[in-house]
Amino acid sequence: MRITKGIAVAGAAAVGLVSLAGAPANAAWTKTFDLHGAHAYACKISHGKTATIRYRIDARHSATWVSGGIDVETAKGKILRSLDVRAKAHKKSKTRSIVVSKTAHLSTGIGDANGGMGGGIALSDIKRC
């Protein structure tokens, strides 16, 4: 009986450690856009003066491919760097990352064969992973 309780407690502790690891699937994702059944998500990890933004698309409920991404821009709108992600119909994209300064101007968007949408987003509006 004591051995069984010890194993149960150890197992529960191990499950707790796994859930604290912060895998992308369990992150606190911010939904940036919805389009024709697809959803674009982002989350951030802060590092001093920079942050890593993780980005993915869930097109499991979309009948067509979906692409999206994040642009890092100057204050005048010139694109400095981009992160592009694409998901096939009825699939999730891989999670991709980009490192940005905490003062960066960001824009994000999502599109498919029928059109798209996008706009600016503040780093403070993106939830922590």
Task: Give me the domains of the chain, ranges plus CATH numbers.
Answer: 24-125 (2.60.40.1230)
Greatest distance between any 2 Cα atoms in the chain: 69
Cα 109 → chain centroid: 13
Look over the chain and give the mean of its residue pLDDT values, rounded to a whole number: 83
- Its sign, for the CA torsion 92, 97, 98, 104, is positive
- In whole angstroms, give the CA distance from residue 120 to residue 15: 39
Task: Report pLDDT digits (tens) over 43-79.
Answer: 999 999 999 999 999 999 999 999 999 999 988 889 9
Q: How far is CA 81 from CA 27, 49, 105, in A?
A: 24, 17, 11
Task: Report pLDDT digits (tens) over 100-123.
Answer: 999 999 999 999 988 899 999 999
